[in-house]
Amino acid sequence: MNKKFLAFVAMMVMSAGIFFLLGDTGGSRSRETEKTKPSGLPIFLSVSNQFQEMERPPVEFYHDKHTVALEKEGCGVCHPQDDKGMLIFKYPRLRDDSTKQSLTNSYHDSCIGCHRERANAGKKAGAVTCGECHVVKEKSQAMEHLSIDSDYYHTLKDTYHRDCIDCHKEEKKLTKKAKVLSWKEFYIKKKEIEKATWPKMDFDYYLHYQHEKGLEKNCKLCHHIYDEKEKKLVYKKGTESSCRDCHRKKDEENRRSFQKVAHADCINCHMERSKEGKKTGPYDCKGCHIEQQQRTAKEVAVMPRPERGQPDSVLIGIKDSRMKGVPFDHKGHEAQSLTCRNCHHEKLIACKECHTKNGSPEGGMVNLAKAYHEPLSERSCVGCHTSYKSKPSCAGCHHQLKSGLSEASCLSCHSGSFKEVGVASKLGNPKELLPANLSGDMTIKTIEKDYMPAKFPHLRIIRKLTEISNASKLAKQFHSNRKTICSSCHHNSPLEAKKEIPPCSTCHSVNMESQKTDTPGLLGAYHRLCLGCHKEMGIKPINCTGCHEEKAGLKTGMRKQ
């Protein structure tokens, strides 16, 4: 009998005995993948962090999948422990990263060694061959095939590669089920390394309150400072700050990164409480790294206010700035946020401590004025307020208006007195502001050749926008003029109560379409304004017949030329 065929049969028998982690034991790799979709997001395992050159695609490692499969054995199967019995979340447990090959061997010894050990014990196990872990996918980034070099491809001399590839060649096909394999797929060097983007975990007011209750306000379990005299970490009431105040993105001197602290301290605490039969938090990946934020500011607002000695309100100002101070409702803003870090950085201190009048190194040389007025910053006043303008309820008007600050904006904040805080009044009944001869409904006949005149419910729209404005505390503060609602449509007209406003055709001419001008024609202005508002607010109609009823003689789709 053909020796190659015997080798093929032997290989098939051996492959049938391989058990895949949490998968079916009798199917092929592709069939196993279809039946057992991986849970959660993958962690891309690669030695490229220390050694950039790669010979194979990174391994997609599903942590939660292993957590479930190894629940009885525990996390200590993969992770080492310190002298206190606490898990150290590094992998591999026996890790040698002195060279690229030694680090690669560390992964292979841990992963493949465990899989083989479990398979020999008759348990479900994972892959043990290169191509089963280092999978080439269509979604992978740009790749480059290495040139054929007999010295490089010395692995083709071993039994696995020689027999498998030889059997699955296009011209041979010893069996109909033998899919053609390209040797190039086994040897691929990636130009870029794939990485998984995990959702960030926000420790909001709700989670903080849950920890306060569960730990009976034992703050020292999480909060501490370094005592220079005693040379150790101690808890001092009143110094509680964000974890990121000390623990940054990367390890610094004797300080671990925030990622290491969060995984080591939080997970170990949760696991310890679980062993004691106490109510605790999650210790799997998807328990913290959720795809979407589960809570809104309105939901978090019902939580008790964190006690950090913060003022209810404060007059924001800086010496010799010559600008009146800004009365700031600190408590009110807390109710609109999910965490203190929505405004503050790592340190929970006043902005002017780092952002001085002229700027300081502590504040990245960003002065106080820019820190408050930077429109692109998530933490500045103007930047945060600008983001609110993009919400559907506000975007209908604000997408038409010029962005940035106006002269009127300064006076809305820089009042210099607490008397102005919380006195923003609601916009009154718009009917009281309109001229007596103005009808509540208007008729627009701009394209009456093709469509019936459009009915525009003028008063009803103004009332709806007034209602939206009055429901927003932020809008009430800045919509101080009762005619503000009118400005989004009547953008260049003087606005006075009971006074008639020039018609749109005063600036937007019917015959202006062909002229070279930045001002759109009347037809363009109507559609840009009306349809633009509807699209931004997500309301109907947004098509022609939603506003314009077709004329009876033109319903066939033919239009007069």
Q: DSSP alpha helices (H): ranges in 193-265?
A: 205-214, 258-261
Q: Assess whether pLDDT exceeds 70 at residue 174.
A: no
Q: What is the pLDDT of residue 516?
A: 60
Q: Which 3 state secondary structure label does DSSP give 466?
A: helix
Query: By percentage, how much of the chain surpasses pLDDT 70?
Result: 75
Give me the DSSP letters along 337-404: -SSGGGT--SS-S-GGGTS-SS--GGGTT--HHHHHH-TT-SSSHHHHHHHHHTSHHHHHHHTTSPPS
- Kindly state the tokens that stand for 435: 């001229």
Q: What is the pLDDT of residue 120?
A: 92
Which pLDDT band holds residue 365 (cuts at 50, 70, 90)? very high
**Residue 21 buriedness (CB in 10 A; 0-12 / 13-18 / 19+):** buried
Partners of 226 in beta bridges:
233
Q: Assess whether pLDDT exceeds 60 at residue 19.
A: no
Q: What is the pLDDT of residue 10?
A: 38
Chain-wide mean pLDDT for the chain? 76
Give whole-number Cα distances, 172 to 72, 98, 158, 178, 374, in Å.
47, 44, 20, 10, 68
Q: DSSP alpha helices (H): ranges in 139-265?
A: 159-167, 205-214, 258-261
Higher pLDDT, 511 or 189: 511
- Kindly state the tokens that stand for 47: 């030695």
Residues 161, 18: Cα–Cα separation, whole Å = 17
Q: Assess whether pLDDT exceeds 60 at residue 422.
A: no
Region 465-489 average pLDDT: 85
Residues 64, 558: Cα–Cα separation, whole Å = 61
Which pLDDT band holds residue 11 (cuts at 50, 70, 90)? very low
Residues 382, 376: Cα–Cα separation, whole Å = 8
Q: Assess whether pLDDT exceeds 80 at residue 15.
A: no
Q: What is the pLDDT of residue 220?
A: 87
Higher pLDDT, 153 or 483: 483
Lowest mean pLDDT among 9-23, 62-76, 88-102, 376-390: 9-23
pTM passes above 0.75:
no
**Half-sphere exposure of residue 4: CA atoms within 13 angstroms, side-chain side:** 13
- Domain 424-554 CATH assignment equals 3.90.10.10: yes
Domain limits, CATH 3.90.10.10, in the chain: 3-190, 205-300, 310-420, 424-554
Q: What is the pLDDT of residue 386?
A: 87
Lowest mean pLDDT among 149-153, 298-302, 491-495, 545-549: 149-153
Region 225-234 average pLDDT: 87
Q: What is the pLDDT of residue 111?
A: 92
Architecture of domain 310-420: Alpha-Beta Complex (3.90)
Which pLDDT band holds residue 214 (cuts at 50, 70, 90)? confident
- Residue 92 preceded by cis peptide, ω within 30: yes
Give whole-number Cα distances, 67 to 75, 251, 350, in Å.
7, 27, 43
Query: By percentage, how much of the chain surpasses pLDDT 90?
Result: 5
Helix/strand/coil (H/E/C) assignment for every residue in 405-461 = CCHHHHHHHCCCCHHHCCCCCCCCCHHHCCCCCCCCCEEECCCCCCECCEEECHHHH
CA 290, 296, 300: angle at the middle one, nearest 5? 105
Of 377, 381, 403, 380, nearest to 390 by C-alpha is: 403
Instruction: Specify the DSSP element, H or E, that contains 316.
Output: strand 314-316
Residue-wise pLDDT for 519-541, tens only, equals 888 888 888 888 889 988 988 88
Residues 262, 247: Cα–Cα separation, whole Å = 10
Q: Assess whether pLDDT exceeds 90 at residue 318.
A: no
Q: Assess whether pLDDT exceeds 70 at residue 419.
A: no
Lowest mean pLDDT among 15-24, 299-308, 415-424: 15-24
Give me the DSSP letters along 162-187: HHHHHHT-TTT-SSTT-----GGGGS
Residue-wise pLDDT for 426-442, tens only, equals 787 888 888 888 878 88
Superfamily of structural domain 3-190: Cytochrome C3 (3.90.10.10)
- Kindly state the tokens that stand for 325: 């101070």
Residues 91, 78: Cα–Cα separation, whole Å = 7
Q: What is the pLDDT of residue 16?
A: 33
Residues 499, 483: Cα–Cα separation, whole Å = 11
Residues 292, 296: Cα–Cα separation, whole Å = 11
**Half-sphere exposure of residue 36: CA atoms within 13 angstroms, side-chain side:** 13
Amino acid at site 462: I
Region 538-552 average pLDDT: 82
Residue-wise pLDDT for 256-314, tens only, equals 888 888 888 999 999 999 889 998 988 888 888 876 656 777 777 778 888 778 888 88
The alpha-carbon radius of gyration of the chain (Å, integer) is: 33
Region 375-380 average pLDDT: 84
Q: Are 221 and 272 in contact (CB under 8 A)?
A: no
Residue-wise pLDDT for 44-61, tens only, equals 887 666 666 667 778 888
The fold adopted by the segment(s) 205-300 is: Cytochrome C3 (3.90.10)
Lowest mean pLDDT among 462-476, 510-524, 537-551: 510-524
Pick from 1-5, 18-22, 43-47, 264-268 the range whose average pLDDT is largest. 264-268
- Kindly state the tokens that stand for 180: 């053609």
Residue-wise pLDDT for 62-104, tens only, equals 888 898 888 888 888 899 888 888 888 888 888 888 888 888 8
Q: What is the pLDDT of residue 292?
A: 60
Give whole-number Cα distances, 532 to 89, 110, 395, 537, 557, in Å.
52, 59, 9, 9, 25
- Kindly state the tokens that stand for 370: 């820019």
Which pLDDT band holds residue 114 (cuts at 50, 70, 90)? very high
- List for the chain the helix, strand, coil content (%; round to 5): 40, 5, 55
Q: Which 3 state secondary structure label does DSSP give 61?
A: strand
Q: What is the pLDDT of residue 116?
A: 92
Q: Are 44 and 60 in contact (CB under 8 A)?
A: yes
